[in-house]
Amino acid sequence: MALAPTTTAPATESSRQAARPRGPLLKLKPLTRQTLLYLVLAVIIVVQFLPLIWALLTSLMTPQETTAVPVPLWPAHPTVSSYSEALQGDIGRYYLNSIIASLVSTLVTMFLATLAAYAFARLRFRWKRLILLFVVSLSLFPPFSQVIPLYMVLQSLHLIGSLLALIIPYSVFGLPMAILILMAFLQEVPFEYEEAAALDGLSRLGAFVRIVLPMIIPGLFTTAVIVFVGDWNEYLFALNYTTTATYTLPVGIVILSQTEFTTNFGVLSAAMVMSVVPLVALILLLERRIVSGLTAGGLKG
């Protein structure tokens, strides 16, 4: 008696998913996974903000507490005398110098980077990849290897001691990163929009200004904030290319906290906290633009 051939029923999608091996995190309940995620995020936030929190606590300590061994974790008698002492110095001038140097260099960088990124993303010309590789390679050189050559160039132009000695290098060295970021945003804009604008009689420049730029506004804000923060915190060039009248905030903070024999850690911490305030205010003001820009730059399609 012949046996009937057995047929295997096709595996359903649910059975295939059940047969797949699952990692240890996937075996956890959703509530447990969410709790672990929040714990990891909390640890990251604490690590990121711990230096700022420590500077804030130190700025509220008395000079005796900042030099005590061991250093107290909390000010026993909170005081704002360090902030008063910092404000009595030239911190206002340092603030103004930092704002001028960072803002002007950011505007110059954004103007040049936007045009260059559009050319690399949209135009076809000879040696485009080679030129882009050269532009990106400028960011690979460490800053300390460029201090002396730049100093000689700026000295020959009689710019040492002026804010232009900072604006020019800041504008140039911020270009590679800004170009790469803006290229990612420009490549997300369909070229059909520009073709339609050309059919309506717009030139390439007109289509760029009226069609493309409004579509990459989140990317422009995100890139500008990144460039501005980098220029605001720059120390090496500001230390070597400026004088007393043109010191920026990073250099001025060190000058304010130095005494004849010691460092006033309370004043140093107070000045550091005050230097962070504009950056925090800027990020909070442009939070939605920055977040939308960061997420939009990673999308495809």
pLDDT tops 80 at residue 288: no
Within 8 A by CB and 6+ apart from 207, the residues are: 193, 194, 197, 198
Within 8 A by CB and 6+ apart from 282, the residues are: 225, 228
pLDDT per position as a tens digit, 168-207: 999 999 999 999 999 988 888 888 888 888 888 888 888 8
Preceding peptide of 70 cis, ω within 30°: yes
What's the pLDDT at 2?
47
In CATH, the number for domain 89-296 is: 1.10.3720.10
**Three-state SS at 292:** helix
If you average pLDDT over every residue of the chain, what do you get? 82
pLDDT tops 90 at residue 154: yes
Torsion of CA 242, 244, 248, 251, to 10 degrees: 90
Question: How far lies 168's CA from each of 139, 149, 176, 245, in Å?
Answer: 15, 14, 14, 18
What's the pLDDT at 37?
86
Within 8 A by CB and 6+ apart from 52, the residues are: 273, 276
The answer to whether residues 78 and 266 touch, using CB atoms and an 8 Å cutoff, is no
Q: What pTM was estimated for this model as a whole?
A: 0.77
pLDDT per position as a tens digit, 243-281: 988 999 999 888 877 766 777 888 888 888 888 887 887
pLDDT tops 90 at residue 101: yes
User: What are the boundaries of each domain within the chain?
Assistant: 28-81, 89-296
What's the pLDDT at 100?
95
What's the pLDDT at 234?
92
